[in-house]
Copies of this chain bind each other. A is one copy, B any other.
Amino acid sequence: MAFCIQLVLALLMLLVETAIAADIPKQKAPTMADVLAASKPGDWRALDPQRTLYVELASGRVVIELAPNFAPRHVANVKALARERYYDGLAIVRCQDNYVVQLADPDADKPQLKRKVHHAKATLPPEFECVLDPKLPFTRLPDGDVYAPEVGFTGGFPAARDPKTGKMWLVHCYGMVGAGRDAPADSGGGTELYVVIGHAPRHLDRNVTLLGRVVQGIELLSALPRGTGALGFYEKPQQRVPIRAIRVAADLPATERTALEVIITDAPIFQELIESRRNRREDWFHVQAGHIELCNVPIPVRPLSAQSARK
């Protein structure tokens, strides 16, 4: 009899606990808006102007954060190309739906007409992947990945790692920027750039050198008319979108820079943000996915606050 009462009590306790467990997360777990509203200035970092590129179009400015941890030579070369004004007057020559836009020299195939490279390199050895640096912070996602053994974020970029090969690489999520190339692996180098504007084309991972990510102005690229030629190339010269200039932010006076700050993906707040997206607590949701795929995690960017600017 005593045992029976104990059993009933235990079951009741279990019921109460279950009810609490079911209730609390629904009411208390923060949404992404809650996480951001509760963020502290130290959860954000200002863009480093030496690692920031501006693509100036008639429609506005596209801001790219560069990733020298993964592609040091390509990043240095793209900055060198920008500094010798290689890109100015070139164009967006391709816009393929659900895939990429491409910035290039429309006359790249014409030896007489093509833009000359002076101090920078015309091509570089590939930086498709690099040696896994265990000292680099890595906010690993708990839900796995179809393509890579480990995925997560480091320094503001989506990345993958393979402990077996000892390699790590950047991942082709929406907004990622890479160095276009021809068939030989060493035919890229940054004279041609592409930006992902569709569902993550992960088959490109480790096949092209990724070197950065668009942090503002992606819609100036993603909403462009699609090219009607093969692979989305514009068929008529007048359809191309002129590039007024590409500049390193540090080369502009501070007043002409776009003052932005990015959430620190290596800080605890980003873990909270990931959890808020794995299980969406907004009232609208009836089912919580309980999982998240790498390229569905947003990396918030906002205007630099006055407080952060003084840091």
Partner pick for A206 among B146, B173, B287, B291, CB 8 A cutoff: B287
Residues from chain B with a CB closer than 8 A to the CB of A128 are 286-287
The CA of A241 and the CA of B13, in the complex, are separated in Å by: 57
Known A-B contacts A97-B223, A174-B98, A223-B97; A289 and B147 likewise in contact (beta carbons under 8 Å): yes
Nearest B residue to A185, CB-CB: B286
CB of A289 within 8 A of CB of B205, answer yes
Q: Which of the segments A84-92, A107-115, A131-139, A195-203 contacts the partner chain?
A: A195-203
CA distance A293 to B143 in the complex (A): 14
Scan residues 265-311 of chain A and give those whose CB is less than 8 A from a CB of chain B: 277, 280, 283-287, 289, 291-293, 295-296
Residue from A145, A146, A206, A277 with most neighbouring chain B CB atoms (10 Å): A146
Residues of B within 8 A of A175 (CB): 98
Q: A64-102 CB contact bits vs B (8 Å, 1 = yes)?
A: 000000000000000000000000000000010110000
Chain B residues, CB < 8 A from A287? 128, 205-207
The answer for the CA separation of A198 and B99 in the assembled complex, in Å, is 10
* Residues of chain B with a CB closer than 8 A to A293's CB: 146-147, 200, 202, 293
CB distance from A79 to the nearest CB of B (A): 26
Pairwise interchain contact B203-A296, C-beta atoms closer than 8 A: yes
Q: Which residues of B contact A199 (CB under 8 A)?
A: 173-174, 198-200, 295-296
A57 within 8 A of partner (CB): no
- What mask results when residues 163 to 193 of chain A are scored 1 for a CB within 8 Å of chain B, else 0? 0000000000111000000110100000000
Q: A34 at the A/B interface (Cβ < 8 Å)?
A: no
The residues of B that contact A203 with a CB separation of less than 8 Å are 277, 280, 285, 289, 292, 296
Inter-subunit contact A222/B296 (CB<8 Å)? no
Copies in the complex: 2
In the assembled complex, the Cα of A183 lies from the Cα of B201 at a distance in Å of 33
- The answer on a CB contact under 8 Å between A218 and B291 is no
Q: Is the CB of B98 within 8 A of A286?
A: no
User: Do the beta carbons of A146 and B292 come within 8 Å of each other?
Assistant: yes
- Give the residues in chain B near A182, CB-CB below 8 Å: 284
Q: Which residues of B contact A198 (CB under 8 A)?
A: 174, 198-199
Q: Is B223's CB under 8 angstroms from A291's CB?
A: no
Interface readout for A222-250 with B: 1 if CB under 8 Å, 0 if not?
Answer: 11111000000000000000000000000
| Whole-angstrom CA separation of A284 from B226 in the bound complex | 23
Query: Can you show 15 pairs from A to B with CB atoms below 8 A apart?
Result: A97-B222, A98-B175, A128-B287, A146-B291, A146-B292, A173-B199, A182-B284, A183-B283, A199-B199, A199-B200, A199-B296, A202-B296, A203-B280, A207-B285, A207-B287
A residues whose Cβ falls under 8 Å from a Cβ of B: 95, 97-98, 128, 143-147, 173-175, 182-183, 185, 198-203, 205-207, 218-219, 222-226, 277, 280, 283-287, 289, 291-293, 295-296
